[in-house]
């Protein structure tokens, strides 16, 4: 059975604003399986956002694990992300999971991968998924040349540009803010 995968998730911290968004497309092979998947959400007490790319069921399992880490480390985003990455890399079950996460709070954003990476990207622009490079490129240009835009506007425009280019990304966007 083909795995559901491919997407675009983009997060930006800009001028004290935080926004995270994703398209809604899920594919199975070369077919659109669903067009309105919710890939971003607020967790904890609503002060942390998470977005995912990759296998949907794997991502849900990782989000649950991340929430456990947040509870264990009193909502410390960085510590929770590092502990999840360590467990993800070493646990026999978890290391088979195929997904990536973006986690954000008011202060920082991190990308977490199954290879043990916890990255804090340059310019507070975080992107994952098949259209991530397109969305990130658009967001970098917007942040540099249109700084009057809000973080939410930059995320929306970056995702729309990615959807115009990446066949695994659609224009059915969901964007959340802190």
**How far, in Å, CA of 170 to CA of 11, rounded?**
17
Neighbours of 135 (CB within 10 A): 34
Q: Is 7 tagged catalytic?
A: yes
Radius of gyration of the chain (CA): 15
Strands 9-14 and 125-128, sheet pairing? antiparallel
Q: How far is CA 12 from CA 9, 63, 128, 149, in A?
A: 10, 20, 12, 12
Give residue 157's pLDDT: 98
Confidence of residue 4 (pLDDT cuts 50, 70, 90): very low
pLDDT digits (tens, 9 = 90+) for 121-130: 999 999 999 9
Sequence-distant (6+) residues with CB within 8 A of 3 are 28, 55, 98
Confidence of residue 5 (pLDDT cuts 50, 70, 90): low
Stated pTM of the model: 0.95
Residue ranges of the domains in the chain?
4-171
Residue predicted with more confidence, 143 or 93: 143
Phi–psi pair at 130, nearest 5 degrees: -65, -30
CATH of domain 4-171: 3.60.20.10
- Least Cα distance to 127 among 118, 139, 116, 117 occurs for 139
Whether 145 has a pLDDT exceeding 90, the answer reads yes
**How far, in Å, CA of 31 to CA of 91, rounded?**
32
- Using a pLDDT cut of 90, give the percent of the chain over it: 78
Give residue 3's pLDDT: 45
**How far, in Å, CA of 7 to CA of 54, rounded?**
7
Q: What is the mean pLDDT of the chain?
A: 93
Q: Which of 7, 8, 56, 169 is catalytic?
A: 7
**How far, in Å, CA of 8 to CA of 158, rounded?**
10
- Least Cα distance to 163 among 20, 22, 28 occurs for 22
Whether 43 has a pLDDT exceeding 60, the answer reads yes
């Amino acid at each position: 059975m083909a795995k559901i995968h491919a997407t675009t998730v983009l997060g930006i911290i800009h001028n004290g604003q935080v926004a995270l968004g994703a398209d809604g497309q899920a594919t199975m092979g070369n077919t659109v399986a669903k067009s309105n998947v919710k890939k971003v959400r607020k967790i904890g007490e609503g002060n942390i956002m998470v977005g995912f790319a990759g296998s949907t069921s794997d991502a849900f399992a990782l989000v649950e694990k991340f929430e456990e880490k947040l509870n264990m480390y009193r909502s410390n985003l960085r510590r929770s992300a590092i502990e999840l990455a360590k467990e993800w890399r070493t646990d026999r079950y978890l290391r088979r999971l195929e997904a990536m996460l973006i986690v954000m709070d008011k202060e920082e954003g991190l990308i977490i991968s199954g290879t043990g990476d916890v990255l804090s990207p340059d310019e507070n622009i975080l992107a994952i998924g098949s259209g991530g490079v397109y969305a990130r490129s658009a967001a970098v240009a917007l942040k540099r040349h249109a700084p009057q835009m809000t973080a939410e506007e930059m995320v929306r425009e970056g995702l729309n540009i990615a959807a115009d280019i990446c066949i695994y990304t659609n224009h059915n966007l969901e964007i959340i803010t802190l």
